[in-house]
Structure 1
Amino acid sequence: MDTVKIKVHQDIFDLSYAMLRELEIEISKSHFMEIGVRIDLAKQSISISYEHAKGVNKLLANNLPIPAMVLFRVQFEAVLRAFWIMFVADGNQIASLSFGYTMEEQFKKEKYPTATEMINLLASANLPARDVVEHFKMFKKYHLKQLNSFVHTGKQSFTRDLLGFDIEILMDVLRQSNNLVTIAAQLLFTLTLPDKQKYIGNLIQKYRHCFYMDQDVDNEKRQRVDSYFDGK
């Protein structure tokens, strides 16, 4: 990968991190409902996803794209997990996530739904946030297989280690990571007093270049990818 190109795009990394910092400050000064363990766990999962997002930003800015891809995959699951916890996890699953940190509990086998299972559960729940569930479905369709390959040091890792990444691919990863940040924050701000969901729209408008929007989609590339899936 061309290091010079990374430097040319350094302003995007800086702007992105400024956005994350601004959002972090807004969250820190917000007042949240105190309703119970389910909401506490959802908030915790969102907080974890937010830390992942900062890591993706820093890794890309420091020319470490492969670990950034791994963390991007983990960030997606943390956001997805927050919605699963909030809306469809049953009482036993919630209880198992809020354990007491004993030695015995650390070694118990975890039995939670996979990313695909969580998406299906959310889709079948017919939630008001259908656009978010659709985003999860599209993410799974277009990105999950490739990102899983990076996580497990599969074909994508070996190929990209040799060939590198086009800088525009990395910019798209950064922007889509930020999309996940706003999805998580949108859920978080439904729990504030007062509700702060409108803040997200203003944040996206202010930092427009840091996000991947519908109008940014390369339709020719999308059709090419879709033709691959259609042929399956």
Structure 2
Amino acid sequence: MGELDEMLAKSHDFAEHLLGMFGEDIEWFGGDRPEAAAAAAELAFEHAHALRVLFSAGTPNSGAAMLRLQYEALLRAAWLLYSAPESPVEKLSAFLTEETAATAKNVISAEKMLLALESTAEKAPNLRGLVLQLRELRDSAWAPMNGFVHAGLHALARTQDGFPAELGTNLVKLSNGMLPMSARLLARTTTSVALVTAVDKVYERFVDVLPVVAPGGN
């Protein structure tokens, strides 16, 4: 088994462990805000799963494109839970029809969501770790993430010259680094304080599949 294949197998175990913590006995908060945030966090997990599947299938450029989708779902989850005004929460929680889809279109950009979270974090120290990680990802990885989504230079060059296994391993790790943040947000839409605490400690058992810097708290 190559380095990338081994990373993918371990990453799958990591994601499954995190999701397995949310058993059928978990009680969830009701209401538009926590339900919408939970849906976005779950979507981030789905995008991470798709990334691993695409890398496993030998389509790494398509897998790399999933990073932006995963990041935006994570960012949306945090914004919905902590910073979004009631109006966009309602728009993004409405029953899906052509009319509601049009109303919810272009509710807010990724940068504005992040700015709103940074403003919230100024008054909520417990959010600063999460928001710092989101900002660092935005500043360091946004351009290449867009490049893979929009068939830019990153994607075209890797298609022509090959996709190094080391790069694939690092991108999978980057995706894995967003999973604990998604799990923490998801846990905070439940009534279980013990679950939040447990999720906060999971990364300690899977450091070999994570970026060097552990994700911040939330």
Normalised to the residue count of structure 2, the TM-score between the two structures is: 0.88
- What does residue 26 of structure 1 align with? 21
Q: Please list, as runs of the form range in 1=range in 2, the aligned pairs for 1:155-166 lying within 5 A after superposition.
A: 155-166=153-164
Partner Cα separation in structure 1 for residue 213 and residue 101 of structure 2:
42
Query: What's the CA shift string for 1:44-100, capped at 9, x where partnerless?
Result: 000111111111111112221111111111000000000111111111111111222
Unaligned runs of 5+ in 2: none
TM-fit CA distance, 1:175? 1.1
TM-fit CA distance, 1:185? 0.6
Q: Residue 34 and residue 202 in structure 1: after superposition, are their counterparts in 2 closer, same or farther (change >3 A)?
A: closer
1:121 to 116, 119, 128: 116
- What does residue 197 of structure 2 align with? 198
Q: Residue 202 and residue 90 in structure 1: after superposition, are their counterparts in 2 closer, same or farther (change >3 A)?
A: closer
Unaligned runs of 5+ in 1: 1-5, 216-232
Query: What's the CA shift string for 1:183-217, capped at 9, x where partnerless?
Result: 011122223332122323442222221111229xx
Partner Cα separation in structure 1 for residue 82 and residue 104 of structure 2:
23
TM-fit CA distance, 1:182? 0.5
8 Å Cα contact 1:30/1:192 also seen in 2: no
Q: Please list, as runs of the form range in 1=range in 2, the aligned pairs for 1:1-232 lying within 5 A after superposition.
A: 7-29=2-24, 31-108=26-103, 110-125=105-120, 126=122, 127=124, 128-195=126-193, 196-214=195-213
8 Å Cα contact 1:56/1:68 also seen in 2: yes
8 Å Cα contact 1:178/1:210 also seen in 2: yes
8 Å Cα contact 1:185/1:200 also seen in 2: yes
Query: What's the CA shift string for 1:157-182, capped at 9, x where partnerless?
Result: 21111122322221111111111110
Q: Residue 30 and residue 150 in structure 1: after superposition, are their counterparts in 2 closer, same or farther (change >3 A)?
A: farther
Cα RMSD after superposing both structures: 1.9
Q: Residue 202 and residue 121 in structure 1: after superposition, are their counterparts in 2 closer, same or farther (change >3 A)?
A: closer
8 Å Cα contact 1:38/1:94 also seen in 2: yes
TM-fit CA distance, 1:10? 1.7
8 Å Cα contact 1:30/1:193 also seen in 2: no
